[in-house]
Amino acid sequence: MIKLRMAIQKSGRLHDDSMKLLKECGIDINNGVNKLKTEASNFPLEVFFLRDDDIPQYVEDGVADIGIVGENVVLEKQRQVNEVEKLGFGKCRLSVAVSKGVSYQSSKDLSGLKIATSYPVIVKDFLKKNNIAADIHEISGSVEIAPGIGLSNAICDLVSSGSTLFMNGLKEVEVILKSEAVLISNQKLSLELEQLLQKLLFRIQAVKKAKNNKYILLNAPNNNLEAICKLLPGMKSPTVLPLADQGWSSVHSVVNENDFWDIIESLKENGAEGILVVPIEKMII
Ligand code: PRT
Ligand code: ZN
């Protein structure tokens, strides 16, 4: 039977979330951190564990059909692969930072500087687009120490909390790229593999939607029922059930995480009581 071959990071920041996503998609795999590959027991999927830097090339070459990797790596490696879906984890930004004491007004201030980075392709492109002449010094790790040891005047590196920059006396001055983990695929998948990818993608999207939404239950006074239902359109329309208490109804619906607090306030203003909010495991529209 044909199997979809997926490359994920062997160890590192994306490993656990990649494995968790597969689990949430109902795919059981043996945890093979120390192995090169493993198989799913209930989905036609083989998983290869690789260094993240190598994943775009393996997917381009067709050694793996699909892979999970940071967008930053996809853009840096410039391999011919399709970006299929953003996955909502591994979020970070690729930023330029300079020493805290240096005055910085605009990207023009980078002219003539030496920038240490592990992302020479992306940085070169940024400098070109902004018409800045600066030197790029490529290093593979510990980029944040470069200004401190006199190797460069600036750096361009991944940032998430900002504490690494802070601890090294650096300040973030330009965000070049916002990145997160993405699902990539080979550009010439056979029809069968494409169908398996679509099956997996359907599950991934259901998991993502569920994470962005909450199930809400509340008690509403019947005289304000219409206003409350308008606030909770849900997937089609809210479910309304009469309570044993006369004049009250129970309303069930789905709310988006982003609108959540605004909606709660309006619901309370309209007399809603006993509001319960529960996570959704899977959501298929
Ligand atoms: O061994 P392998 O080559 O597979 O792994 P790696 O060491 O190259 O990568 P890894 O595991 O560090 O990161 C994998 C991916 O996670 C990256 O390509 C990004 O897409 C994503 N990611 C998200 C991050 C960060 N956040 C991040 N904060 N990758 C690295 N960092 C590093 C950054 O380089 C800096 O050293 O964390 C430090 C900054 O973090 P803060 O929180 O102090 O700002
Ligand atoms: Zn790497």
Is pLDDT above 60 for 75? yes
Q: Is 168 in the pocket of ligand 1 (CB under 6 A)?
A: no
pLDDT of residue 162: 97
- Look at the chain and count its residues: 285
The domain defined by 92-179 carries CATH number 3.40.1790.10:
no
Please give the mean pLDDT across all residues of the chain. Answer: 95
Q: DSSP string of 145-176? A: GTTTTTS-SEEEEEESSSHHHHHTTEEEEEEE
Q: Is 12 in the pocket of ligand 1 (CB under 6 A)?
A: yes
In angstroms, rounded to a whole number, what is the distance separating the alpha carbons of residues 138 and 32?
A: 33
Is pLDDT above 80 for 248? yes
Where is average pLDDT lowest: 46-55, 129-138, 229-238? 229-238
Domains 4-90+180-210 and 213-279 share a fold: no
In angstroms, rounded to a whole number, what is the distance separating the alpha carbons of residues 51 and 161?
A: 23
Q: Is 139 in the pocket of ligand 1 (CB under 6 A)?
A: no
Q: DSSP string of 84-115? A: EEE-S-S-EEEEEEEETTS---SGGGGTT-EE
pLDDT of residue 33: 56
Q: Is 34 in the pocket of ligand 1 (CB under 6 A)?
A: no
Averaged pLDDT, 164-177: 98
* Sequence ranges of the domains in the chain: 4-90+180-210, 92-179, 213-279
Q: Is 67 in the pocket of ligand 1 (CB under 6 A)?
A: no
Ligand 1 closest atom vs CA 157: 34
Terminal CA-CA length for the chain:
30
pLDDT of residue 235: 83
Percent above pLDDT 70 for the chain? 99
pLDDT of residue 257: 85
pLDDT of residue 32: 55
Distance 11 CA to ligand 1 centre (A): 11
Beta strand pairing call for 154-159 and 135-138: unpaired
Do residues 181 and 69 lie in contact, with contact meaning Cβ atoms separated by under 8 Å? yes
Looking at the DSSP bridge assignments, the partners of residue 276 are 217
Residue 80 burial (CB count, 10 A) = 11
Query: Which residues neighbour ligand 2 (ion) by CB within 5 Å?
Result: 52-53
Write the residue with the smallest CA distance to atom 2 of ligand 1: 51
Distance 158 CA to ligand 1 centre (A): 6
Sign for the pseudo-dihedral over CA of 132, 133, 134, 137: positive
Write the residue with the smallest CA distance to atom 17 of ligand 1: 70
pLDDT of residue 258: 85
For 7, 98, 154, 168, 284, the CA distances from 104, given in Å and listed in that order, are 41, 8, 11, 17, 48
Distance 173 CA to ligand 2 centre (A): 24
Averaged pLDDT, 141-156: 96
For 118, 208, 265, 277, 279, the CA distances from 257, given in Å and listed in that order, are 35, 12, 14, 11, 10
Greatest CA separation for the chain: 76
pLDDT of residue 260: 85
The predicted-structure confidence for 27-61, as pLDDT tens digits, reads as follows: 999 765 568 999 999 999 999 999 999 999 999 99
Ligand 1 site-directed mutation target among 8, 13, 18, most atoms within 8 Å of CB:
13
pLDDT of residue 31: 65
Fold of 4-90+180-210: D-Maltodextrin-Binding Protein; domain 2 (3.40.190)
Averaged pLDDT, 57-76: 98
Write the residue with the smallest CA distance to atom 19 of ligand 1: 70
Q: Is 170 in the pocket of ligand 1 (CB under 6 A)?
A: no
Percent above pLDDT 90 for the chain? 93
pLDDT of residue 34: 61
Distance 92 CA to ligand 1 centre (A): 8
The predicted-structure confidence for 192-228, as pLDDT tens digits, reads as follows: 999 999 999 999 999 999 999 999 999 999 999 999 9
Q: In terms of Cα–Cα distance, which of 215, 230, 196, 217 is closest to 283?
A: 215
Is pLDDT above 70 for 264? yes
- CATH architecture type of domain 213-279: 2-Layer Sandwich (3.30)
Ligand 1 closest atom vs CA 160: 44
Is pLDDT above 80 for 179? yes
